[in-house]
Amino acid sequence: MYNKKMQYVIKSVPTDDKQALEDLLNEMSDSGWDLYTLHEIETENSIDFNCIFMREKQEEDSTDLDDIVNVTSFKYRMEKMLAAPTSPYESCKEIQLKIANQKERIKKIKSQLESDSLSGDDKNKLNNQMSDELKNLDSLKQALVNEISPDTMYSNIKEEKFTVNLSEEILDLVSMENSENLLAQTVKVRQKLADELGYVIPHIHFHNSDDLAQNEFSIKIHDIEVFRAIVMPGYRAYYKDELKGYKPDEFDLVLEDAITGRKMVWIPECKVKDFWVKGRSAIEYMGEAIEYIAIKEVSDIMDYNDINKLVEIVMENNSFLVDNIIPDFITAADLKYLLTCLIREKVSIKNIVYLFEKINDYANEPTKEDLLDKVRLAFSKLIIKDLVKNDELRIIEFSDETLEIIDNFFHQGEDDGDRVIRIDAFDVQKIADRINKLAKSKKLENPILAVPMEFRHMVFVILSEFVPNITVLASEELVGDFNIKYLGEC
């Protein structure tokens, strides 16, 4: 039904006239109409069924207005208008009102039954009607019992971990009838992360949101918004620096990419057929955003159920490793910290049994940061493999001045031997600006920084917020048969 022109019609019948409802449904079906929704409404004198029917618009009924009506959006608005109350308080009041009205109906039938002028057939008809109304009353009373039950409140205590909210204009991107849709794209992202990192992202929930601007989408983790951007269906997105010589016109949209911070140009697809770069569709860009957030927010996304699933894989292959280190040498919290830190820096945990072997080897390390360093050293060849291009690893280093600034972060505020890290935001911004400037001059989309082991993780944590796609290696991790090319200091 995707992209078909639809028309709708609304018909009403009393809820207590079953024959009228049956006749209406048969009549509309014979005329080629499908029942879209049936909703109970209250009028001044009765409670009626509002029946909305739909069918494909006939050619003679087509108008120019149809070309600008988004069918999916129209359908969504109708569903929202006709939706039952979601608040338990409102539902409770609605059921109580229905009970009161139902009792009035029963009272009216009783008064009619007391009439001496009723024929036998009329009395039987009223008795049958009374029986039906009493059954409806019992159903309403049971619905009220269910609504006021505390168990209902418990069932509503749940949270959607990973949510993508869409403005009304881009709802079609999740249409099941569209072969290239965002649902399929998320499956592609999930498969990619599972194959490359051994990280399976959870189910993603999609919702319409009235709080978003036109063509805007947002991503929430545990109901906290962590990403927001605009996409343009029917356009392709290009980084501005990719389009040398191209000048955006009035039909293009120039925005800052929320992932990289680079300028991005959205150009209508009809204009880009002969472009030398492919660009990104709206769905592809949203897939990149989901992948970016899935990695960036992994510490909040990956929970202990996910950790247990990974532990079970190890148990099936080598139960000794699990029995030997959990919980005597490493707690579940420490294990979660280690795994999420690796994934956050795009280090694969897919070889989870070997990873547990290394954890077992270094389980006596005094801190989880020390354990992380040792495990990374064990995986250094794997880490470097994906960074080397044409047998060459292009590296940025810190200058002596910058290393001194970083070292001061650790030594300020020492008290009774405890090391307190105090980071100066101005110094961090200055260092990040130097890296970004050098990366731009060397045309590095993914700058690689090499620092001493004792600073490595902290440097990544603070700089990854300012330098998109940065990789921070320890100097001790630079192992393998390749050439190291130092691009400069910052």
| Per-residue pLDDT, 196 | 95
Report if residue 193 sits inside a domain. Answer: yes
Boundary-marking domain end, from 250, 284, 299: 299
Q: Are 240 and 262 in contact (CB under 8 A)?
A: yes
User: Which pLDDT belongs to residue 390?
Assistant: 85
Task: Give Cβ neighbours of residue 462 (< 8 Å, ≥ 6 apart).
Answer: 423, 428
Domain-located, residue 14: yes
With a cut of 60, say whether residue 179 has pLDDT above it.
yes
Instruction: Note whether residue 123 is domain-resident.
Output: yes
Asked if the structure places residue 83 within a domain, the reply is: no
Residue 44, pLDDT score: 63
Q: Are residues 182 and 270 in the same domain?
A: yes
pLDDT at 53 over 60: yes
Q: Is residue 72 within 8 Å of residue 172, measured between CB atoms? A: yes
Q: How far apart are CA 483 and CA 391, in angstroms?
A: 6
Q: What is the mean pLDDT of residues 165-187?
A: 86
> Is 369 in the same domain as 434?
no
Answer yes or no: is pLDDT of 81 > 50. Answer: no
State the first-to-last Cα distance of the chain, in angstroms, to the nearest integer.
Answer: 58
DSSP 328-391: TTS-HHHHHHHHHHHHHTT----SHHHHHHHHHHTTT-SSHHHHHHHHHHHTHHHHHHTT-BTT
Does 427 share its domain with 358? no
pLDDT tens for 379-423 read: 998 889 888 888 889 999 998 898 888 888 775 444 545 556 677
Tell me which residue of 344, 471, 369 sits closest to 419, measured CA to CA: 369
Boundary of a domain, candidates 361, 378, 395: 378
Same domain, 178 and 219: yes
Q: Tell me the pLDDT tens digit for each residue of 457-478.
A: 989 998 988 888 899 999 888 8
> Who contacts 165 (Cβ-Cβ below 8 Å, separation ≥6)?
206, 207, 208, 209, 211, 212, 217, 218, 219, 220
In this structure, the answer to whether residues 329 and 206 fall within a common structural domain is: no
Choose the weakest-confidence range: 66-80, 252-266, 345-359. 66-80
- Asked if residue 151 has pLDDT above 70, the reply is yes
Query: Which residues, listed in sequence order, are joined to residue 383 by a DSSP beta bridge?
Result: none
**Rounded distance, CA 337 to CA 360, Å?**
16
Is 287 in the same domain as 179? yes
CATH number at residue 357: 1.10.8
SS3 sequence of 301-327: HCCHHHHHHHHHHHHHHCHHHHHHHCC
Domain membership of residue 201 as a residue range? 162-299
Q: How confident is the model at residue 74 (pLDDT cuts 50, 70, 90)?
A: very low
Q: Please provide residue 316's backbone torsions phi and psi, each rounded to the nearest 5 degrees.
A: -65, -30
180 and 244 in a single domain? The answer is yes
Q: Give the least confident one: 122-126, 187-191, 337-341, 369-373.
A: 122-126
Which of 119, 135, 155 is the last residue before a domain boundary? 155
Model pTM score: 0.72
- How confident is the model at residue 64, as a pLDDT? 45
pLDDT of residue 41: 78
